Structure 1
Amino acid sequence: MSPPKLALLRLALLLCIIAGGGHAAFAQTAATQKPSASPSPAATDIHARVTEVGVDATIPDDPAFEKMLAAYSPKVRALDLVIGRLTGDLRKGGTGAGSLGNFVTDGLRAESSRKLGKPIVLTVTNGGGLRKNIIASGDLRLRDVFELLPFENALVAFDLTGSQVLDLLKIVLTRRDAQSGARIKYRLNAEKKPEIEKVLLVIDGMEKEIDPAAVYTVVSIDYLLNVAGGDYGAVLKQAKNIRPLGLTMRDAITDYVKAETAAGREIKSAFDGRFALNKETPGAAEETPND
């Protein structure tokens, strides 16, 4: 099979999964959790002959397969649509899931704010849900967003107290997940694990201390709220006033890029100090920063 057909097949399979795959949160669960062991079947003798067949240009195309693939060609071509311009590579890695994590959470916060008609203080998502490690500078295409965000995760708004927000951000920092709306100064402890020194929230363009008793509106994804469990579950089960936004993560990012393009702005790969490492702590030189 030729490389173009392989690329077409890969995207067609992605579209099949997106179109047919059940609940959003469980789609991500299946991809990130270890499978459980199955009961051992009764012993059975199996006799088989294995033949390795190289698939190259000498193998004729299968008409049925070609017909099936052709049905997806228009949908795959639609993914080539340029929706914006990117200045600098977006990369995943390090604290905050890198510049890709910044891009995604900034987009989620912007679109959530538009959806709710008021500024959102904080957005949080897990780095494991970002399935593309780099988007190269230049044209930003719809396929980039689909490959980055293949899960049907839906956005959910909820309320947390300031104390709970601080607990949430501690988890985000420890897990190297992504957030938009906070400025976190941290250090590395003796075990080279990150610990928060100070957190400020950017509200109305100004950095403000977190009021432990105040109530803040946060936006995340249904996967973290309903399925993730562990550290996230311990904090997010305390959330109040939970309301789905009727918007998937992928659609929100697509709308965000289109809105920025319509406003004449390019998407920029940048670190803005949302995770600032105390460079005087031991091991700081080995840390991948996001500042």
Structure 2
Amino acid sequence: MILKSKVIYILLWSALMFGCRQNIELKSTSGKLVLVDSSIAADSAVASVISPFREEIDKQMSRIIGFSEAEQDSYYPESPLSNFVSDIIQERALRYLKANNADTLPMISLMNIKGLRANLPEGEVTVRDIFEIMPFENQIVVLTISGTNIKAFFDYISTTNGEGISGAQLVIKNDKVKSVTINGDVLDVNRNYYLATSDYLANGGDYFSMITNPIQSQLIGCKIREAIIEHIEELNQNNLKVVSNIDGRIKID
């Protein structure tokens, strides 16, 4: 199989290198469906190469990083897991801003609930558990947003029945904003705010178009998944378990 792959590669390379030197006209094509399933025997040569890497990856993924007091799941309008992850994003972003003497504005954080793809289990928490929750390579980004666009941000969240947020309290009534406070203060459309979130959402993912043209955007050099792992490890080093609850940061009136 490896030899065949090399031959195919050489043929393709030759076609790319020399095909442009003459006019080639496609006359016809043909093909057939090949099912890639358990009926195809494993190639022993390939398996022997992959095996050491698979074993090392499995070892790293099975590493216990801490313990959770209870299972955490995610749901609307707020949930233990979405609160937990948005709080971690908030904490990590604030740490970055303080280190750069830039923590000058009120901050809120966002974690889209649909982006949390599994529950955090009760008891032992492994690296694999965090990869299952957050399988994406999303980076934490801090946006400087006008108060007007922050209002539009909360207006949108009200139509989606909530999201994972930190640093704010939102009350929704009839799919509209009834009230918003940020760090205990009423939202002011005449000032700017920091919004810490994923680069996916900052680029307009999940229809968050109102945050795609920020006054400033800063990647802090940390993936959300890495921040979660490191946070749980820090808790464990201090003999603490993961604890997160619903605290009323989003209410449906």
Same topology, TM > 0.5: yes
Alpha-carbon displacement from aligned partner over 1:89-110 (angstroms, at most 9, x marks no partner): 11122223x3221111111111
Alpha-carbon displacement from aligned partner over 1:33-92 (angstroms, at most 9, x marks no partner): xxxxxxxxx99776679899669xxx8884532541332211221122221221111112
Alpha-carbon contact 1:101-1:179 (below 8 Å) kept: yes
CA distance in 2, matches of 1:48, 1:248: 39
| Structure-to-structure mapping, 1:253-268, within 5 angstroms | 253-268=228-243
Alpha-carbon contact 2:61-2:128 (below 8 Å) kept: yes
- Which of 1 and 2 has greater Rg? 2
Partner of 2:82: 101
Pair 1:71 & 2:53 matched: yes
Alpha-carbon contact 2:109-2:196 (below 8 Å) kept: yes
CA distance in 1, matches of 2:64, 2:246: 24
Pair 1:152 & 2:137 matched: yes
The residue identity in structure 2 corresponding to 1:177 is E
Change (3 A) 1:69 1:218: same
Which of 179, 201, 206 matches 1:198? 179
CA distance in 1, matches of 2:205, 2:52: 38
Q: Percent identity?
A: 21
CA distance in 2, matches of 1:90, 1:213: 37
Count of matched residue pairs: 221
Structure 1 unaligned segments of length 5 or more: list them: 1-41, 279-291
Alpha-carbon contact 1:170-1:196 (below 8 Å) kept: yes
> What TM-score do the two structures reach when normalised by structure 2?
0.76
Pair 1:270 & 2:245 matched: yes
CA distance in 2, matches of 1:46, 1:222: 40
The residue identity in structure 1 corresponding to 2:192 is V
Pair 1:223 & 2:200 matched: yes
User: Aligned Cα RMSD in Å?
Assistant: 2.8
CA distance in 2, matches of 1:91, 1:72: 29
SS at match of 1:155: strand
Alpha-carbon displacement from aligned partner over 1:216-268 (angstroms, at most 9, x marks no partner): 111111111225274x11x1133112111111111111122222333443211
Structure 2 unaligned segments of length 5 or more: list them: 1-26
Change (3 A) 1:157 1:49: closer
SS at match of 1:135: coil
Cα deviation, residue 177, structure 1: 2.6
Alpha-carbon displacement from aligned partner over 1:149-180 (angstroms, at most 9, x marks no partner): 11111111111122321221222343343211
| Structure-to-structure mapping, 1:29-108, within 5 angstroms | 62=44, 64-96=46-78, 98-108=79-89
Partner of 1:238: 213
Cα deviation, residue 122, structure 1: 0.7
Alpha-carbon contact 1:111-1:256 (below 8 Å) kept: no
Alpha-carbon displacement from aligned partner over 1:94-142 (angstroms, at most 9, x marks no partner): 223x32211111111111111221486211122232222x222111211
> What TM-score do the two structures reach when normalised by structure 1?
0.67
CA distance in 2, matches of 1:228, 1:144: 24
Partner of 1:8: none
Change (3 A) 1:45 1:170: same
Alpha-carbon contact 1:172-1:178 (below 8 Å) kept: no
Which of 139, 153, 172 matches 1:168? 153
